[in-house]
Amino acid sequence: MARQRIFRHVARLCAAFALAAAGAAAADPALLFDWQTERCDRWDIPDAPARFWRDASGQVHMLAGNEANRESVGPDLRHLEHVCRLVHAGAEDPDPAARNDRVWIVSVFTRDGVRIEALGHAEYHGHRHGRACAADDYMSCWRNAIVALESDDGGRSFTRVPGPPVAALPYRYDRDQSRRSGYFNPSNMIVAGDHLYFYFFAEAYGVQRRGVCLARRKLDGGPADWRGWDGQDFSIRFADPYAPGLTEPERHVCTPLPGLTAPLNSIVRQPATGRYLAVSPMVAEIDGTRTVGFWAFTSTDLIHWRDRVLLAPMPLLWARDCADSFAHAYASLVDPDSGSRTFETVGTRFWLTLVRMSLDAKCRVGPERDLIRFDVSWPAQADAPPTVRAPRADR
């Protein structure tokens, strides 16, 4: 097994050199970001679902980075160039109330291509800040919140929006916590009627139940206008526990949606069918067999998701197969020919993008990560299942 891993690693290195010589985009249409040839530094990695938008001049922007947020830009999704300039980075603030330690931009929305609204996945790691956390361990000391950012230059730079977070637990950071807590992994923002929606994942903590939550606000609203689903309506006003007067935390937590056990990475609308499509990384059973991969769901109301179907069986970051060379995470659905400025609509043919992470001989994930894509065909006919295949150079 070790010898086979060495051979595979050498083969990948040879392929990387070949791609560098021939041009990665031309040689391999599956690659949207090639770590070997495009990285700006060792830890310039794709570490979130890919998000896309068109600016006012028609240029396409992509974010799929880590806490040192960088973009790729080009005339279309097939011709993107990675840019080393940072568009945003957290301040590594040691105060948990600031929610400005490490910030990933993971969701964007724009109506004019000039002003870009964004949601940030904000991680606070108490073990990195002196005695802020007793456990001195990454997972035990992790608290997460969702924060608002904006750009007024089409996405070349983002700044934090002043004020409280978009969504945070109604509990102050506990230095004695023993597991990660908070609200994680905002999906892309999607328009339905005159409202804007996004999904996020809640870990169980206090009165907050574990699961997938949903928030919405009016299209012309702002960060303070987001309200969470309470099981019947969007009535949950998220509260800042560092502000005075918070006495009833049960009034400020969301109710998870039924039937969803893992984050919804990406949601798109298919106008031909009137349905919404979503993708989620999951471990589930098919005829009694444990199956790992990315699963697709459909919905007509954004609340109830059904028709679960296995879209791409493959090892996941958190359910990896150590006999394999790669693990995968952070799926996104996108139609390169979408007429939407934020690519929130798809036809019957579109892309599934994933982050592919190389595993070393000890089954560990390091910085060697690529952003790859597959072609998806999902016909508009009722009950027609999706099919996934490796991309052609012309798609």
Angstrom distance (rounded) from CA 168 to CA 30: 37
Amino acid identity, position 392: R
Sign of the dihedral defined by the CA atoms of residues 145, 149, 155, 158, in that order: negative
Q: Alpha carbon 289 to chain centroid distance?
A: 28
Amino acid identity, position 246: L
Question: 257 near 264, Cβ under 8 Å?
Answer: no
Whether the pLDDT of residue 245 is over 90: the answer is: no
- Between the alpha carbon of residue 290 and those of residues 43, 77, 306, 365, the distances in Å are 33, 35, 19, 23
Residues 6+ apart with CB under 8 A from 195: 216, 217, 218, 219
Round the average pLDDT of the chain to a whole number and report it. 91
Between 29 and 107, name the one with better pLDDT.
Answer: 107
Angstrom distance (rounded) from CA 337 to CA 347: 8
Per-position DSSP letters for 42-107, written without gaps between them: TT----S--EEEE-TTS-EEEE---SEEEEEEESSTTS-EEEEEEEEE----S-GGG--SEEEEEE
- Domain borders along the chain are 1-38+263-395, 47-257
**The pLDDT value given to residue 63:** 98
**The pLDDT value given to residue 358:** 97
Q: What is the pLDDT of residues 63-81, one digit of tens each?
A: 999 999 999 999 999 999 9
Mean pLDDT of 145-174: 97
Q: Which residue intervals of the chain are DSSP H helices? A: 2-22, 24-27, 35-38
Q: What is the pLDDT of residues 186-232, one digit of tens each?
A: 999 999 999 999 999 999 999 999 999 999 999 999 999 999 999 99
Q: What is the pLDDT of residues 338-387, one digit of tens each?
A: 999 999 999 999 999 999 999 999 999 999 999 999 999 999 886 788 99
**The pLDDT value given to residue 6:** 34
Angstrom distance (rounded) from CA 72 to CA 298: 30
**The pLDDT value given to residue 19:** 32
